[in-house]
Amino acid sequence: MSTAEIQPAAATFDVPELVVGFDLDMTLIDSRPGIQAVWDLIAAETGVPIDTDLVVSRLGPPLTWEMANWFPPEQVDAMVARYREHYPSHAITGSLPLPGVLESLAAVRALRGRTMVVSAKYTPSVVLHLEHLGLDVDEPVGDLHGAKKGIALREHQATIYVGDHTADIDGARAAGAVAVSVATGPFTADELRAYGADVVLNDLTEFPAWLDAYVLEQRLEALMRRLSSYPNMVVAFSGGADSAFLLAAAARAIGPANVVAATAVSPSLPVAELEPAARFADGIGVRHVTPHTHEMDREGYQANAGDRCYFCKAELVETLQPIADEFGITAIATGTNADDAIAGFRPGIRAAFERGAITPLKDARLTKAQIREASRSWGLETSDKPAAACLSSRIAYGIRITPNLLARVDRAEQAVRSLLTPYGVENVRVRDVGETASIEIDARLLDEVDHRPLVDAVVAEGFPAARVDPRGFRSGSMNERLKDPEKYR
């Protein structure tokens, strides 16, 4: 069986998936103009004097409840049916998104979460509103009011429910979700707070910041709980932002004396990475070891097919195991984060999993952005450190990896970075694509700097030719050149 055929067991996490439910009317959209137009039409057709201003001032309950205020019981069902006939033609285009809607949905996405709408409105009407306004929601649910909204919220394991009505608070309570209220509907902030909302916001423009802070706190607490469950730990410490944060978190959770930072030294490690890694480990008081790894001795690594990272990570964990044994440590942790787990094919994650390494950042669902934010709050110098994958990631798949090729890439990147330092460069990659080198720099610098000196510097380090990629730096851009990536997922 090839390594590409071996798949890790189903992922386990220390925090539930983020699922955020939203009410629709007066939470996501201002549907009053469209709804009032339909009620005006009903009044004109029936001759019944309906106070449509009053109707739209108290949106939230089921349509049958409101209809019963204006028609006798035996006519309610027929009038509801008539209302729904008119609704698609008269109510949809008149409704507008409330401020902060797009940003709120995007905030959930950025945290790798899912969204749903749970409304008392007729389900087909919910869908029409969302489609008309281009609101990307994973699951639209209608025909539920008050505590009954908890049925759908529980079914989809929603952890947060956002609404403008006291009935929405009932729905959140019934599902065991955090009740977030926005004062954009019929109730004031004080009334929502008095009714029992966990969080009260003026409107959805305040939601993204609240959500970011709340979710980060939850995930950090989960991370620290997990780390605290181990008496000691070896952290595979590359010196990058993820492993640096994990190292600092482990030191906080179980004490620096119980943590060992292991930085693997090999031709694939950029020379400039080792000294900062040692300084960082020393700064938080953890023991730093620098074992030599020999991934170059593995045929699968040298062959540089799509599963190259499998052999590299296998070598790393197998090298760290004797170190862990020496210190009486049973846990070896890597800095894999939640974004890594879903980003394309990651055979290295599989290799570490098979060898018993743990992934506390991923298991706490911490994204790269959250790791950087937490690192800033902790004052870690690595918070804004650009991503720095191993040098082998610069060699096009299919080109056999040698120490000389890695050293050439390292020298070339250092030369380009030196030239661009006055411009505040963040990301530099020199990709060996065979007969030429592809130079990737921050996209914002493409039109700002002269490309000729960059090309000359790379050629001076031994490349036959070079060109600056007009698309700029893209993490994992070598994967774009890989044939049949599905084979290695």
| Closest to 59 in 3D by CA, of 102, 105, 119, 116 | 119
What is the β-pairing status of strands 178-182 and 114-118? unpaired
Task: Please give the pLDDT value at position 284.
Answer: 97
User: 102-122 burial, b if ≥16 CB within 10 A, otherwise e?
Assistant: eebbebbeebbbbbbbbbbbb
Measure Cα distances from 62 to 167, 339, 459, 474 in Å: 11, 40, 71, 50
Q: Which position has the token pair 């394991």?
A: 157
Q: How far apart are CA 295 and CA 267, in angstroms?
A: 9
Q: Cβ contacts of residue 131 below 8 Å, gap of 6+? A: none
Q: Are 281 and 288 in contact (CB under 8 A)?
A: yes
Residue 345 confidence (pLDDT): 56
Half-sphere exposure in the Cβ direction for 100 (13 Å, CA): 20
What pLDDT is stored for residue 7 in this prediction?
38
Determine the pLDDT at residue 477: 66
DSSP helix/strand/coil, 235: strand
Q: Rounded distance, CA 350 to CA 313, Å? A: 9
Reported as a single tens digit per residue, the pLDDT across 127-174 is 999 999 999 999 999 999 999 999 999 999 999 999 999 999 999 999
Parallel, antiparallel or unpaired: strands 19-22 and 259-262:
unpaired
Residue written as token pair 């009044």: 43
Amino acid at 288: H
Residue among 387, 430, 391 nearest 412 (CA)? 430
- Written as one letter, the residue type at 422 is P
* pTM score, whole prediction: 0.85
pLDDT for position 344: 55
Q: Both tokens of residue 318?
A: 């197998």
Q: Which of 273, 247, 246 is nearest to 261 (CA)?
A: 247
**Could you list the pLDDT tens digit for every one of the 489 residues in the chain?**
233 333 344 457 899 999 999 999 999 999 999 999 999 999 999 999 999 999 999 988 899 999 999 999 999 999 999 999 999 999 999 899 999 999 999 999 999 999 999 999 999 999 999 999 999 999 999 999 999 999 999 999 999 999 999 999 999 999 999 999 999 999 999 999 999 999 999 999 999 999 999 999 999 999 999 999 999 999 999 999 999 999 999 999 999 999 999 999 988 887 778 899 999 999 999 999 999 999 999 999 999 888 888 999 999 999 999 999 999 999 999 999 998 877 655 788 889 999 999 999 999 999 999 999 999 999 999 999 887 778 888 999 999 999 999 999 999 999 999 999 999 998 999 999 988 999 999 999 999 999 999 999 999 999 999 999 999 998 766 666 655 544 444
- Residue that the structure tokens 């045929």 belong to: 299
pLDDT computed for residue 70 by the predictor: 96
- Interatomic CA distance for residues 44 and 212, integer angstroms: 48
Output 200-206 pairs: Cβ under 8 A, ≥24 positions apart. Answer: 203/98, 203/99, 203/100, 204/27, 204/28, 204/98, 204/99, 204/100, 204/101, 204/103, 204/104, 204/162, 205/99, 205/100, 205/103, 206/100
What's the pLDDT at 175? 98
Rounded Cα gap, residues 41 and 50, in angstroms: 10
Instruction: Return d(Cα 343, Cα 58) in angstroms, integer.
Output: 45
Beta bridge partners of 233: 259
